[in-house]
């Protein structure tokens, strides 16, 4: 028995040691300072135990990717491609349209060539993804659900990559970006610890960056109203047969600092000026390799954006500028014309966007151009900001309340169960140390619901001890000897403890699997706490009793 | 619950909730007027005082503002322009709102200490960032919880000229927005549905486990008793129209765990006693088991109850709804494990026995009897539980 006890004690002490080490020092070699300076101990604890945003302070943004828009985009693109392809083959298209995203109907004039048209269109539309049917002169392609789902999923992944790139530019430490919610909810959760004013981040993240370089009408002129511009655009075609559309023109000299930050919200106080822009673009934002905001003049107030093009874009750009010297090329950002410089010579791979940018708005736009456009619109559906002082308050009151509760429990246990109460206190404290150590070990974050889990853990840990002690008291009352009373008490209470703990662990596991953020935080702390308690309440407490009982040859009384 | 409904917080109903800290005791009427001026309907504004808590030195003046779905900027705008009727100094930035980055950008643009010309490139930004961060640090730790006077901002380690330069670009506004939540209506509904669903699934998990360890009727009885606690607690929240927030869910889950624990302890004892005294009457066995575990029930519940009361007293605003659930829940939970779970189990067992004995009698008669008996048992066991002597 004695040897056995020694082994148990060594095990308990080493577990305690490891737990304390992990909590107070972490995965590194300790220095002298770790033990001597109280502030160092505090810092270590703060470093090892990750706190959630609700405790530490920071911002959390939940974004919804409009994945359905991507399907619509894919459909439109394919309709355009289909028209071109059939025209090249000499098949006349009477009508090409889509009744819903993911469906393309092409009606050709000559019903006899429907089969030929189908074969031709198959070159663009993969058999695995698009099912086709021919009825009369109409060929219909339908995107199957699994392919559509793959496209939506990909749009979310793509959006995440782009958002991540944009965030990185802000230099936020330890931001986390993750998929959120159910499989088909297309939500992204962004957490920014320490950021208590996410406005600028927010604006930049969903800033659309649809940049196109498109030809203007020639000679280039402005129209004072939309109606006049529309009138002029009607029926007008350029040498390549492209139609024109009127777009608002932000003339140079206007104050556009706000414009860059909040796109697509024209200032109603200023009368809009319209220009005619070809519907077909020369190059798009996707052709941009690099973009940089640089001062436009020596004053340092005005910024412009220099961009360089990728290989393919540069070639297209070179061909077009070479053929159109003297004409104007419009730089269209989010369907607003930013500037329309005239082409003086053949340009191959670079250009600039001017328009009274400030340093901040210029840098933000350059960043957006560099990282590419989002595949679909992204909406903010939830925002939570906890200021650092509010978080500090929560920690302070949480700790104060827990310590007050704990002290109360300890005093009661000490008085009511005397020596055995001390035993219970030791197991309780060890339980908490183990809980925190395991959280630190796995890098799990402690949130407010997590504190709820800790409170339930404390409640059940105290309950386990009370169960055992009351059972021992009962056995003693029945007149059993101390040693056997302790043994029976533990044995009988053990079954109950297992039942209660496993029941709660089972339900917590379900909570963890199916729950969302806060519920999972609760579940994981509770599971760890209860597992630790199974160890402390039965094994540790039992060993301590064992030590007391084996010290004397014959035990006649027990302080309980 | 049906007629009054619930006072759903922003988390579930959607909307915006801002925690605003003021320099001096805020006037509710004036906040309301300020918010109405930016176009928020007066009847949609909820104001709630907070920030008074035990164990904290200086009192803080906080107000929780709940309004329909509107962005943070609008709340700041309302309070900045319309709250202390005097307009803020033109062109100056409120140091009590916004983050370090914003302050640093303004400093960098205005360059009061001409760092941009005197320091190597990049260093100016670094210096201003460092100062801006120290301002935020001061704001967080100041006794009032926000900056009351600009000249209180410590400039140690920085050029003393900062002190002269600050009032040129900044002012210490009347208020500071220290927390903000904005939840879309869709998210709230989704959260609500999922919270209920996940709770039910976890209850099912417990039911299966208890059925496996005991008998299935024990599981049903335990779940019914637990749901009883949840419903009563929900009823209380509905009756007093206390706000239901996200922490409420965590609290309900804690309550379920707690109540279940209590019930299983008693069931365990019944099972154990039944093994030894197989022949005895179930009611007697149950009653004995209840009595034997009563001291444990009282000590454990009492201790948890008192530590939850500590949480209610010291826990502050954030933990308030959480601790309130548990204070109510533990009282109800203790009662229900004794007076709801066991009677259900006994009633069923009796019914089963009755069925076996009177298999030949008509179904009608059987039903009547079962129902009558069940009532009797319920009353009996309730009284025994209440009058049972404490040890």
- pLDDT (tens digit, 9 = 90+) per residue, A391-450? 777 777 778 888 888 888 889 888 988 888 888 899 999 999 999 999 888 888 888 888
Closest approach of A519 to chain B, Cα-based (Å):
6
pLDDT at B386 over 60: no
Contacts of A224 (CB under 8 A, 6+ apart): A271, A273, A274
Is A224 an 8 Å CB contact of chain B?
Answer: no
Q: How many CB pairs under 8 A join A and B?
A: 230
A416–B253 C-beta distance less than 8 A = no
DSSP lists the bridge partners of residue A90 as none
User: Between the CA of residue B196 and those of A448, B109, B185, B199, what are the distances in Å?
Assistant: 20, 52, 17, 5
A397–B316 C-beta distance less than 8 A = yes
């009897």: which residue's tokens? B369
A514–B197 C-beta distance less than 8 A = yes
Q: Which residue has the higher pLDDT, B359 or A474?
A: A474
Percent of chain B with pLDDT over 70: 87
A408–B307 C-beta distance less than 8 A = yes
Q: What is the pLDDT of residue B368?
A: 54
pLDDT at B10 over 80: yes
**Chain B residues touching residue A504 (CB < 8 angstroms):** 257, 260-261
Answer whether B284's CB lies under 8 Å from B309's CB: no
Least CB–CB distance from B249: residue in A392, A416, A518: A518
Tokens standing for A13? 């002490």
Tell me whether the omega of the peptide bond preceding residue B257 falls within 30 degrees of 0, making it cis: no
Mean pLDDT of A58-69: 87
Answer whether A182's CB lies under 8 Å from A200's CB: no
Q: What is the pLDDT of residue B390?
A: 37
Disruptive mutation site among A470, A524, A526, A529 for chain B (greatest number of B CBs within 10 Å): A470
Question: For A486, how many CA atoms within 13 A lie in the half-sphere containing its CB?
Answer: 20
Q: What is the pLDDT of residue A6?
A: 86
Chain B's closest residue to A300, CA to CA, is B109
User: Between the CA of residue A471 and those of A323, A468, B49, B316, what are the distances in Å?
Assistant: 97, 5, 48, 38
Chain B's closest residue to A360, CA to CA, is B105
pLDDT at B87 over 90: no
Whole-number Å distance between alpha carbons of A458 and A429: 9
A203-207, A321-325, A503-507: range with lowest mean pLDDT: A203-207
Q: Which residue has the higher pLDDT, A177 or A252?
A: A177
Q: What is the pLDDT of residue A435?
A: 92
B72–A199 C-beta distance less than 8 A = yes
Q: What is the pLDDT of residue A535?
A: 92
**Chain A residues touching residue B181 (CB < 8 angstroms):** 383-385
């000590």: which residue's tokens? B299
Q: Which residue has the higher pLDDT, A82 or B367?
A: A82
Closest approach of B377 to chain A, Cα-based (Å):
26
Closest approach of B140 to chain A, Cα-based (Å):
5
Closest approach of A409 to chain B, Cα-based (Å):
6
Whole-number Å distance between alpha carbons of A233 and A243: 8
Answer whether B134's CB lies under 8 Å from B165's CB: no
For residue B44, the 8-state DSSP code is: G
How high does pLDDT run on average in chain A? 81
Least CB–CB distance from B261: residue in A396, A460, A511: A460
A393–B318 C-beta distance less than 8 A = yes
pLDDT band at A497 (very low <50, low <70, confident <90, very high): very high
pTM of the model: 0.75
Q: What is the DSSP string of A437-451?
A: HHHHHTTPEE-HHHH
Rg over CA atoms, chain B: 30
Does residue B10 sit in helix, strand or coil? Answer: helix
Q: Which residue has the higher pLDDT, A251 or A482?
A: A482
pLDDT in tens, A341-352: 777 777 777 777
Taking chain B, what is the end-to-end CA distance rounded to the nearest angstrom? 38
Whole-number Å distance between alpha carbons of B208 and B221: 12
| Closest by CA position to B96, among listed B112, B79, B109, B108 | B79
Least CB–CB distance from A510: residue in B102, B202, B308: B202
Contacts of B27 (CB under 8 A, 6+ apart): none
Q: What is the pLDDT of residue A527?
A: 93
pLDDT band at A216 (very low <50, low <70, confident <90, very high): confident
| Closest by CA position to A206, among listed A170, A257, A166 | A166
Element (H, E) at A489: helix A482-514
Tokens standing for B380? 């009996």
Least CB–CB distance from A459: residue in B98, B258, B295: B258
Note the helical H segments in A169-233: 199-206, 226-233
Q: What is the pLDDT of residue A2?
A: 60
B55–A466 C-beta distance less than 8 A = no
Least CB–CB distance from A388: residue in B109, B140, B201: B140
Answer whether B22's CB lies under 8 Å from B175's CB: yes
Tell me whether the omega of the peptide bond preceding residue A219 falls within 30 degrees of 0, making it cis: yes
pLDDT band at A135 (very low <50, low <70, confident <90, very high): confident
Estimate to the nearest angstrom the gap between the alpha carbon of A448 and the chain centroid: 20
Answer whether B11's CB lies under 8 Å from B191's CB: yes
pLDDT at A194 over 90: no
Least CB–CB distance from A389: residue in B73, B145, B326: B145
Whole-number Å distance between alpha carbons of B247 and B258: 16
Q: What is the pLDDT of residue B380?
A: 41
Rg over CA atoms, chain A: 35
A56-65, B198-207, B249-258, B348-357: range with lowest mean pLDDT: B348-357
Estimate to the nearest angstrom the gap between the alpha carbon of A462 and the chain centroid: 39
Closest approach of A213 to chain B, Cα-based (Å):
32
For residue B198, the 8-state DSSP code is: H
pLDDT at B364 over 70: no
Q: Which residue has the higher pLDDT, B122 or A307?
A: A307
> Chain A 162-221, CB below 8 Å of chain B: which residues?
181, 185, 195-197, 199-200
Answer whether A464's CB lies under 8 Å from B265's CB: no
pLDDT in tens, B180-205: 888 888 888 888 888 888 889 999 99
**Chain A residues touching residue B67 (CB < 8 angstroms):** none
For residue B391, the 8-state DSSP code is: -
Is A442 an 8 Å CB contact of chain B?
Answer: no
Q: What is the pLDDT of residue B382?
A: 40
A14-28, A339-353, A393-407, B377-391: range with lowest mean pLDDT: B377-391
pLDDT in tens, A255-285: 433 333 333 344 444 557 888 888 777 777 7
Is A460 an 8 Å CB contact of chain B?
Answer: yes
Other CB atoms within a 10 A radius of the CB of residue B351 amount to: 19
For residue B152, the 8-state DSSP code is: G
Q: What is the pLDDT of residue A172?
A: 67
Whole-number Å distance between alpha carbons of B334 and A249: 72
For residue B26, the 8-state DSSP code is: P
Tokens standing for A178? 């993750």
Angle (CA) B370 B376 B377, round 5°: 85
Least CB–CB distance from A401: residue in B72, B293, B311: B311
Other CB atoms within a 10 A radius of the CB of residue A428 amount to: 24
Q: What is the pLDDT of residue B1?
A: 67
B292–A474 C-beta distance less than 8 A = yes
Question: How many helices (H) and strands (E) are present in chain B, helices listed first?
Answer: 14, 8
B265–A463 C-beta distance less than 8 A = yes
Taking chain A, what is the end-to-end CA distance rounded to the nearest angstrom? 22
Answer whether A195's CB lies under 8 Å from A391's CB: no
Q: What is the pLDDT of residue B381?
A: 42
Least CB–CB distance from B205: residue in A466, A496, A510: A510
**Chain A residues touching residue B206 (CB < 8 angstroms):** 503, 506-507
Looking at beta carbons, which pairs linking B164-169 to residues 24 or more positions away fall under 8 Å? B165/B112, B165/B113, B166/B95, B168/B110, B168/B112, B169/B92, B169/B93, B169/B106, B169/B107, B169/B110, B169/B112
Q: What is the pLDDT of residue B363?
A: 55
B265–A514 C-beta distance less than 8 A = no
């519920």: which residue's tokens? A519
B258–A401 C-beta distance less than 8 A = no
Chain B's closest residue to A520, CA to CA, is B250
Q: What is the pLDDT of residue A534?
A: 92
pLDDT at A381 over 90: no
pLDDT at A532 over 90: yes
B102–A397 C-beta distance less than 8 A = no
Closest approach of A269 to chain B, Cα-based (Å):
20
Whole-number Å distance between alpha carbons of B289 and B281: 12
Question: For B31, how many CA atoms within 13 A lie in the half-sphere containing its CB?
Answer: 25
Does residue A52 sit in helix, strand or coil? Answer: coil
Is A404 an 8 Å CB contact of chain B?
Answer: yes
Answer whether B15's CB lies under 8 Å from B66's CB: yes
Closest approach of B89 to chain A, Cα-based (Å):
22
Rounded to two decimals, the ipTM of the complex is 0.77
Q: Which residue has the higher pLDDT, A162 or B266?
A: B266
pLDDT at B371 over 50: no
pLDDT in tens, B155-179: 777 777 777 778 888 888 888 888 8
DSSP lists the bridge partners of residue A379 as A64
Disruptive mutation site among A188, A197, A505 for chain B (greatest number of B CBs within 10 Å): A197
Closest approach of A170 to chain B, Cα-based (Å):
10
Chain A's closest residue to B214, CA to CA, is A499
| Closest by CA position to A516, among listed A454, A449, A430 | A449
Mean pLDDT of B86-111: 76
A397–B53 C-beta distance less than 8 A = yes
Mean pLDDT of B368-376: 46
pLDDT at B117 over 90: no
Percent of chain B with pLDDT over 90: 5
How high does pLDDT run on average in chain B? 79
Angle (CA) A323 A326 A332, round 5°: 85
Least CB–CB distance from A449: residue in B55, B247, B315: B247
């Amino acid at each position: 028995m004695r040897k056995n006890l020694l082994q148990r004690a060594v095990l308990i002490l080493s577990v305690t040691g490891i737990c304390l080490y992990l909590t107070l020092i972490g995965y590194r070699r300790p220095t002298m300072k770790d033990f001597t300076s109280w502030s160092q101990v505090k810092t270590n604890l703060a470093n090892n135990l990750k706190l959630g945003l609700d405790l530490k302070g920071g911002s959390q943004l939940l974004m919804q990717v409009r994945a359905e828009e991507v399907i619509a985009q894919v459909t439109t693109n394919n309709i355009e491609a289909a028209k071109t392809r059939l025209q090249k083959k000499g098949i006349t298209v009477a009508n090409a349209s889509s009744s819903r995203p993911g469906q393309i109907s092409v009606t050709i004039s000559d019903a006899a060539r429907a089969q030929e048209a189908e074969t031709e269109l198959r070159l663009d539309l993969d058999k695995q993804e698009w099912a086709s049917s021919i009825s009369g002169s109409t060929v219909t392609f339908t995107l199957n659900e699994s392919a559509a789902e793959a496209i939506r999923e990909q749009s979310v992944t793509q959006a995440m990559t782009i958002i991540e790139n944009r965030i990185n530019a802000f230099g936020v430490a330890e931001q986390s970006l993750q998929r959120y919610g159910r499989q088909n909810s297309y939500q992204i959760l962004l957490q920014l610890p320490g950021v208590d004013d996410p406005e600028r981040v927010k604006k930049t993240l969903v800033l659309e960056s649809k940049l196109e370089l498109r030809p203007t009408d020639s000679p280039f002129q402005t129209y004072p109203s939309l109606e006049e511009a529309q009138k002029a655009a009607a029926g007008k075609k350029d040498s390549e047969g492209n139609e024109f559309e009127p777009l608002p023109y932000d003339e140079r000299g206007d104050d556009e600092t706000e414009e860059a930050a909040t796109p697509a919200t024209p200032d109603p106080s200023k009368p809009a000026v319209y220009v005619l822009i070809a519907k077909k673009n020369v190059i798009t934002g996707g052709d941009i390799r690099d973009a940089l905001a640089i001062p436009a003049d020596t004053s340092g107030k005005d910024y412009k954006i220099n961009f360089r093009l990728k290989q393919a874009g540069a070639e297209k750009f070179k061909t077009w500028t070479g053929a159109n010297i003297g004409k104007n090329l419009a730089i269209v950002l989010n369907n607003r014309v930013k500037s329309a410089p005239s082409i003086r010579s053949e340009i191959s791979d670079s250009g600039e966007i001017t328009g009274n940018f400030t340093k901040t708005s210029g840098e933000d736009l350059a960043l957006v151009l560099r990282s590419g456009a989002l595949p679909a619109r992204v909406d903010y559906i939830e925002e939570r900001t906890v200021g650092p002082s509010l978080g500090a308050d929560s920690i302070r009151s949480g700790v104060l309340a827990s310590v007050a509760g704990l002290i109360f429990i300890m005093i009661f246990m000490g008085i009511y169960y005397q020596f055995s109460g001390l035993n219970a206190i030791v197991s309780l404290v060890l339980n908490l140390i183990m809980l925190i150590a395991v959280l630190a070990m796995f890098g799990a974050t402690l949130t407010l619901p997590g504190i709820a889990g800790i409170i339930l853990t404390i409640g059940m840990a105290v309950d386990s001890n009370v169960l055992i002690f009351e059972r021992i008291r009962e056995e003693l009352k029945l007149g059993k000897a101390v040693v056997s009373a302790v043994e029976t008490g533990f044995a009988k209470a053990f079954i109950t403890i297992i039942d209660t703990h496993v029941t709660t662990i089972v339900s917590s596991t379900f909570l963890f699997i199916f729950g969302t953020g806060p519920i999972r935080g609760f579940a994981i702390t509770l599971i760890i706490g209860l597992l630790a308690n199974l160890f402390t309440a039965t094994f540790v407490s039992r060993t301590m009793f064992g030590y007391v009982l084996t010290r004397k040859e014959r035990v006649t009384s027990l302080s309980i | 619950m049906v007629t009054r409904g619930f006072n759903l917080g922003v988390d579930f109903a959607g909307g915006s909730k801002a925690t605003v800290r003021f320099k001096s005791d805020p006037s509710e009427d004036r906040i309301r007027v300020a918010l109405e001026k930016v176009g928020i309907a007066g009847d949609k504004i909820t104001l709630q005082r907070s920030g008074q808590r035990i164990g904290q030195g200086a009192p803080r003046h906080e107000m929780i503002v709940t309004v329909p779905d509107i962005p943070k900027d609008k709340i700041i705008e309302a309070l900045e322009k319309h709250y202390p009727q005097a307009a803020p100094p033109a062109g100056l930035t409120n140091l009590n709102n916004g983050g370090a980055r914003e302050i640093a950008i303004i400093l960098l643009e205005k360059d009061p200490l001409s760092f941009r010309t005197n320091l190597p490139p990049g260093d100016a930004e670094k210096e201003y960032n460092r100062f801006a961060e120290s301002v935020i640090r001061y704001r967080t730790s100041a006794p009032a919880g926000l900056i009351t006077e600009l000249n209180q901002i410590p400039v140690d380690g920085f050029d003393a000229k900062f002190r002269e330069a600050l009032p040129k670009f900044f002012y210490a506004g009347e208020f500071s927005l220290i927390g903000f939540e904005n939840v879309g209506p869709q998210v709230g509904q989704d959260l609500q549905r999922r919270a209920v669903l996940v709770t039910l699934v976890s209850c099912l998990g417990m039911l299966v486990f208890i059925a496996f360890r005991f008998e299935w009727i024990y599981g049903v009885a335990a779940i019914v008793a637990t749901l009883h606690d949840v419903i009563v607690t929900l009823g209380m929240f509905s009756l007093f129209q206390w706000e239901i927030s996200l922490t409420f869910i965590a609290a309900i889950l804690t309550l379920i765990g707690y109540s279940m624990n209590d019930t299983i302890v008693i069931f365990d004892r019944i099972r154990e006693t039944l093994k030894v005294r197989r022949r005895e009457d179930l009611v007697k066995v149950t009653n004995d088991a209840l009595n034997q575990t009563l001291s444990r029930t009282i000590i454990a519940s009492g201790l948890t109850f008192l530590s939850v009361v500590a949480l209610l007293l010291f826990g502050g605003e954030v933990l308030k709804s959480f601790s309130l659930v548990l204070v109510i829940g533990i009282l109800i939970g203790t009662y229900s494990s004794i007076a709801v779970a066991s009677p259900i189990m006994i009633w069923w067992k009796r019914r089963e026995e009755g069925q076996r004995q009177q298999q030949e009698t008509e179904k009608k008669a059987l039903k009547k009897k079962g129902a009558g008996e069940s009532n009797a048992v319920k009353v009996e066991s309730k009284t025994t539980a209440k009058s049972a002597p404490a040890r």
